[in-house]
Amino acid sequence: MTTKHRRRPRVTGENGEAAGPSRGAQGGKPSLKRSRTSGRSWRSPLLWGIFAVIVAVSGIFLFWGYPGGEVMEVLASQQETLRHKFYAVPCSQDYGNHKQFTGCTPLKCGRAVTDAVITQEEARRMLRIAEAGLSLGGSDGGASILDLHSGALSMGRNFVNMYRYYGEQMKEIVTEEDFQLYRDVRQRIQQEITRTFDLDAASLYLTKPTFFSRMNSSEAKTTHDEYWHPHIDKVTYGSFDYTSLLYLSDYSKDFGGGRFIFIDEKTNSTVEPRLGRLSFFTSGSENLHRVEKVSWGTRYAITISFTCNPDHSIVDPTWT
């Protein structure tokens, strides 16, 4: 609490003038009448009750944050290094509307965040791939993607196939070692998901799209730039059962805004991006989420997702 709150309340008179010992109309002796009244209100239990409620509510908002009118809990702060944080949520009915795969279709749902699966050095190398690839194109608006599998690269208001557009030149931008790194990272993420959700390792497959993303505060030019809408990955991408996000830059150092937000009934919870931070979750409506608008700087991440349906599986990208 600041000293401001401790200051004696200023009681004002009917016309808004500060109340204090008032003087008679003729400038005679000061009358104590008004000051006695203010003394009584100062000691009033009702006023103290209201004051206590205001202080308590401000405390709650200070603790949870109060951006944009939402009550926020921090699931993973940028400053902390997390080994493995898991937050269970009841599974939605969504999985029942799809074909079931034993050993894979989520029976246990939730969200996990860990800084211990991908090293900072690996994340830095992944960031270099993203920066180099995206430097060849980029959206006119605030969100650009680069998909190593399909070759999709944001370009102005559209996408191009960078492998076709740049041909052999691409081999200087994305090397075989980069693809090797991507495979290692993807494998380790997949193992972590398998372990966390008790899955049969052979029944979980990589699926599309997987993409690097670059977000900034530029004004959106097309709907592809509007990355901030609440959504359910299983609905948006169809094949996803488990979504993973690997962050390649740091919240509040490299960019402002841009926090990942799980939207729940009563409170929302945020994951603050951090270089090398892995966040993964079941992709159904139990994990409705959005990304805050980036207010300054540039935010990089990669989305790598998995499916239980072998018909939707894809293989790792490679030059060979």
Task: Select from ligand AKG, Fe ion, none the partner in contact with residue 260, using the beta carbon and a kind-dependent cut-off of 5 to 8 Å.
Answer: ligand AKG
User: Taking CB positions, which residue lies at the least distance from ligand AKG?
Assistant: 260
| Residue that is written with structure tokens 């969100």 in the block | 143
DSSP state letter for 165: H
Residues 292-311 touching ligand AKG, rule: CB under 6 A, are: 301, 303
Q: Is 233 in the site for Fe ion (CB under 5 A)?
A: yes
Binding site partner of 291, from Fe ion, ligand AKG, none, Cβ cut-off 5-8 A by kind: ligand AKG
Among residues 166 and 228, whose Cβ is nearest to Fe ion? 228
Closest CA to 299 of 215, 228, 226, 229: 215
Taking the least distance from each CB to Fe ion, the nearer of 94 and 233 is 233
Phi–psi pair at 269, nearest 5 degrees: -130, 145
Name every residue whose Cβ is closer than 8 Å to that of residue 180 and which is 6 or more positions away in sequence: none
**Is-catalytic flag, 34?**
no
For CA atoms 170, 172, 173, 176, the dihedral sign is positive
Residue 34 or 149: the one with the smaller Cβ distance to ligand AKG is: 149
Residue 245 binds to ligand AKG (criterion: CB under 6 A): yes
3-state secondary structure of 196: helix
CB 118 within 8 A of CB 246: yes
Look-up of token digits 């008679």: 24
Q: Is 268 in the site for ligand AKG (CB under 6 A)?
A: no
Smallest separation (angstroms) from ligand AKG to the CB of 102: 27
Q: Quote the least distance from Cβ 67 to ligand AKG, whole Å.
A: 16
Answer with the entry of ligand AKG, Fe ion, none that 301 interacts with (C-beta below 5 to 8 A by kind): ligand AKG
| Separation between Cα atoms, residue 300 and residue 255, nearest integer Å | 10
Beta bridge partners of 161: 152
Binding site for ligand AKG (CB under 6 A): 213, 233, 245, 260, 289, 291, 301, 303
Instruction: Kindly list the catalytic residues.
Output: 299
